[in-house]
Amino acid sequence: MTNTYSTNRAAVTIRNFYPHAVNLKDRKVLVLGGGTQAYGEILRLVDAGCFLTIIALHTSPELCELAITHASRAQIVALSPEAFLESAAGKNLQQFELAFLLSENESDNLALAKSLKAAAVPTQVLYQPEQSDFVGASPLKRGHLKIAVSTDGLCSPLERAIARRIEELFVYDFDHYSLFLSAVEEKLQAFKASNGSEFCKLNQRLEREDFYQAISRKNFEEALRLVDNHIDAIKNGYDFGDEGASSSDDEPEDPVRRPRNIAKTGEMKGGNQ
């Protein structure tokens, strides 16, 4: 079913955007606008570690302070879009990884969007999802844990309302999930540093149902134990790839697959046979 919304122009078909995460660390990003919409996005972009060129004739005190605090990564260019396109940076638009056109002046956004599209720079145009190559989302962030809510650019207030509701429901869980992710990151990085060639095998093992079930029960201690067991199994040479494989007498035993209450001989630990 095609989604449309009504404007003062003809009805516009909304694109179905693909959600993804992108690495912007040390990449160059262009932002047009110095208002509230631009400021919120600029905060998130600074956190992502990119280099920002901000085109704005008028900026809020908060944005000026941010540019001073992050002077090495955020530069405000006090030019109109037309004047910027005549500058050295404007004549080299291909240097930018992404462009966020967030001016409250629609004509400014569309004028710059035309040049950016000609330069093949993926662009978001404020309130114009049909003119955009991507759209933003309302994010929740705790360390490596990020949850983003998107309406394909249709209704950002709804995105914020849903994101706030999620945060209220899981406010206590977020910290636990974030701490768990930090512990997993430490184990994965240590394993990759010493066993880089086996890193994909470890990630494949962590797709198994036992690890998923431990996390779904919020039993993070068990989940971390499983990470250690999978690491030990790979280091000891056990890796049959799929779940259905079974070991022979000549192959090392996978310590993860053996039930915790069953000894290697098949006898119940602590029980009477």
The answer on 25 and 132 residing in a single domain is yes
CA 2 centroid distance within chain: 27
The pLDDT value recorded for residue 221 is 97
Q: Considering the domain boundaries, does residue 3 fall inside one?
A: no
| Residue-wise pLDDT tens digits, 210-265 | 999 999 999 999 999 999 999 999 999 875 544 444 444 444 455 555 444 433 43
The pLDDT value recorded for residue 268 is 36
| Residue-wise pLDDT tens digits, 118-168 | 999 999 999 999 999 999 899 999 889 999 999 999 999 999 999 999 999
The answer on 227 and 120 residing in a single domain is no
The answer on 196 and 113 residing in a single domain is no
Q: Considering the domain boundaries, does residue 48 fall inside one?
A: yes
| Residue-wise pLDDT tens digits, 104-120 | 999 999 999 999 999 99
Q: Considering the domain boundaries, does residue 250 fall inside one?
A: yes
CATH number at residue 87: 3.40.50.720
The pLDDT value recorded for residue 238 is 78
pTM: 0.78
Q: HEC profile for 92-104?
A: HHHHCCEEEECCC
| Residue-wise pLDDT tens digits, 13-22 | 778 999 999 9
The answer on 31 and 125 residing in a single domain is yes
Q: Considering the domain boundaries, does residue 141 fall inside one?
A: no
Q: Considering the domain boundaries, does residue 106 fall inside one?
A: yes
The answer on 121 and 34 residing in a single domain is yes
Q: Which two tokens stand for residue 150?
A: 């998107």
Q: Considering the domain boundaries, does residue 9 fall inside one?
A: no
Which among 136, 160, 180 is the end of a domain?
136
Q: Considering the domain boundaries, does residue 46 fall inside one?
A: yes
The answer on 177 and 125 residing in a single domain is no
Domain of 247, in residue numbers: 170-264
The answer on 24 and 131 residing in a single domain is yes
- What is the rounded CA–CA span in Å between residue 230 and residue 204? 10
- Look at residues 52, 76, 135 and name the one whose alpha carbon lies nearest to residue 84: 76
The answer on 113 and 52 residing in a single domain is yes
The answer on 256 and 198 residing in a single domain is yes
Q: Considering the domain boundaries, does residue 159 fall inside one?
A: no
If one counts the domains in the chain, the total is 2
